Structure 1
């Protein structure tokens, strides 16, 4: 199969203005997947950046993850450890190569600048200005590679009064207004990192691929400023659109989809829960009939408070298993709230292949992991290996840049890099 080698960008010499004339060429590559040939340097840590590059690596992009030898990603320390590696690290850094570099040492900057010449995208997650102070900012690197795509993921963006402010997922959701109408009368912490992933990771992946498409047409690279707060603000979606059009600002349990209607969770007699989302008339009628109360259809129009109370009182009279039996036969947007253990072994999840066995990097054996969630008819994702040990590919990557064994060992002795043999 012929794949697009994104690093073979044009047939002409780059100009100093950051634009390249001509049309990108195609060349064969040994990697498979729709992004085969796309080369990424990933300087990010924790969740937002690594989640974005995981999606791209699963689709064939060649991702080199760069970490400091003396300050590795904290995710590497998370429990549980499997095969000597954090299970979380092994998943989120799947299919990526590991290069250890201490960016505070000038030799490391020289190595990165050599790598830039042959790479398409830089992903970084430092506070604004950090990469520029290291000599690795966008304006500095585009001098080497005018067609470079440079993606910066931060909490509050590259400008604005909060640009240098520290934050976490819970803070970005707070500032973006989304937390103000989530919960039972007061904000509730989410079980997943919404601003980090839906805000930072997925918007960053979308933006990088949009920039690749733009460069394919024009030859021009660009910088990308991904603010997790900005992206979280956009997730206000329906409520945000209504408010900006003149509606009252949403409050907890005041909207159709946040507990202000019967669209909600209900407890069973044994402390489990069911979700009821039967908003459409045909689903509402089927739900009410399954509950043994067809008269509730009228309450949905006349007295929502009474309807919710009656639904709650009915659910709590039976066990979780009993309600599972009832609604397994009824198509009305009502489902049990599963634990993660139950979800991972659910027949539908199994049929969709959402858990895969991935070879452990550098050793025998495999590790079950969450799969890439999208299916492709022609270019399915590949699971080459789990996340690597710190510096596992340092020797090979440096050798590809022309460093001999003596030079590589000298860099390791000076603490510039770490050599972890597979």
Structure 2
């Protein structure tokens, strides 16, 4: 069973937010056509490392199970092809700056005249309106403007460049996916399509659900390393004797008791995060000192699978791949390549009863499905060759 069978999506996106969203849809059975051009090559296609065929592993992951249509969107014939597709592929997701799709002649207002059921999702850094609407940006910019980074750093230290793209994924990918599915549900009831304006900065601002709410209610803005969950309490990361780290999240009394017993500091069992800053600091120093007495492997033996006190090792990615929980949840999958071999990739995190994800093939070579798609829509080989000669299929 494929739960999103029937959803047909045109993906005009590059980079990370949109392609990851459409990959999630493809994993669950949606039909996705990735429209691209070699005049504006997606950076994910050329980002190393590469396989033996000089294809980017990142591209092959983000674009798995999608068909690739190579198209010149600055040609009239290319736009006509899009308009034909929109009659069937009635969900569009794009990541251009505001105004670009309108200039091309394939914006929401134009295309919904062809298909009133069209769902059109635009992912941008700052949204379709406001003084920053056309401003360029990247993940760390949206985290900055959204008020996330300042209270996410240590005191007197600069913000840390994240190992994952939080604004792109949590802000762009996830909000786009939720918006599209909400619009699809609305369309089932009403027959009406919708335009979805996803701003990654809006999303980051909205994710200040704890400390933003605190400020709006009390007037006290969150400060670096002073809040319950940003290092202001013992909820933090601790260095071992050999320079590795453990995460400690033992906030509840029962978990704090287990932590204190494991660290052999039973005299601090009754400390809480509501205590004075002096008591909190004393507790944190005791936890810090305790972790420095043993190596990473020694602590692994103590905080083993039988320990239930919210303490976990900070793993490298290769260690995470071999973690029994990751393995048990089928988070690593083998996806077919064009030569019949397979490539190891990250699987979907969505587990739905009775639904098996559809990992059809790794991201295709650019334009691999162009002729197949055009023939489906009535173009014969002679017409396709003419489109190639006229620079439409590039």
Structure 1 length-normalised TM: 0.90
Counterpart position of 2:72: 102
Q: Deviations over 1:340-381 (max 9, x none)?
A: 000011111111111000001x32100000000121111121
* Partner of residue 326 from structure 1, selected from 302, 325, 331: 302
CA distance, structure 2, for counterparts of residue 298 and residue 381 of structure 1: 47
CA distance, structure 2, for counterparts of residue 139 and residue 95 of structure 1: 29
Instruction: Tell whether the 8 Å contact from 1:299 to 1:306 is kept in structure 2 after alignment.
Output: no
1:99-138 alignment runs, 5 A limit: 99-138=69-108
CA distance, structure 2, for counterparts of residue 44 and residue 274 of structure 1: 38
* Partner of residue 344 from structure 1, selected from 309, 314, 321: 321
CA distance, structure 2, for counterparts of residue 294 and residue 94 of structure 1: 52
CA distance, structure 1, for counterparts of residue 263 and residue 219 of structure 2: 34
Q: Any unmatched runs of 5+ in structure 2?
A: none
Counterpart position of 2:374: 398
1:11-410 alignment runs, 5 A limit: 32-84=1-53, 85-185=55-155, 186-300=158-272, 301=275, 303-328=279-304, 329-360=306-337, 362-410=338-386
CA distance, structure 2, for counterparts of residue 410 and residue 365 of structure 1: 35
> Residue 187 of structure 1: CA displacement?
1.8
Instruction: Tell whether the 8 Å contact from 2:335 to 2:361 is kept in structure 1 after alignment.
Output: yes
> Residue 120 of structure 1: CA displacement?
1.8
CA distance, structure 1, for counterparts of residue 339 and residue 105 of structure 2: 37
CA distance, structure 1, for counterparts of residue 247 and residue 32 of structure 2: 40
* Root-mean-square deviation over aligned CA pairs: 1.1
Q: Deviations over 1:145-176 (max 9, x none)?
A: 11100000000000000001010000000000
Instruction: Tell whether the 8 Å contact from 2:256 to 2:309 is kept in structure 1 after alignment.
Output: yes
> Residue 123 of structure 1: CA displacement?
0.5
Number of residues paired by the alignment? 386
CA distance, structure 2, for counterparts of residue 310 and residue 293 of structure 1: 8
Q: Deviations over 1:165-192 (max 9, x none)?
A: 0100000000000111012123222111
Instruction: Tell whether the 8 Å contact from 1:268 to 1:316 is kept in structure 2 after alignment.
Output: yes
Q: Any unmatched runs of 5+ in structure 1?
A: 1-31
Q: Is the deviation greater in 156-165 or in 66-75?
A: 66-75
Structure 1 runs of 4+ with >3 Å offset: 298-302
CA distance, structure 2, for counterparts of residue 99 and residue 299 of structure 1: 61
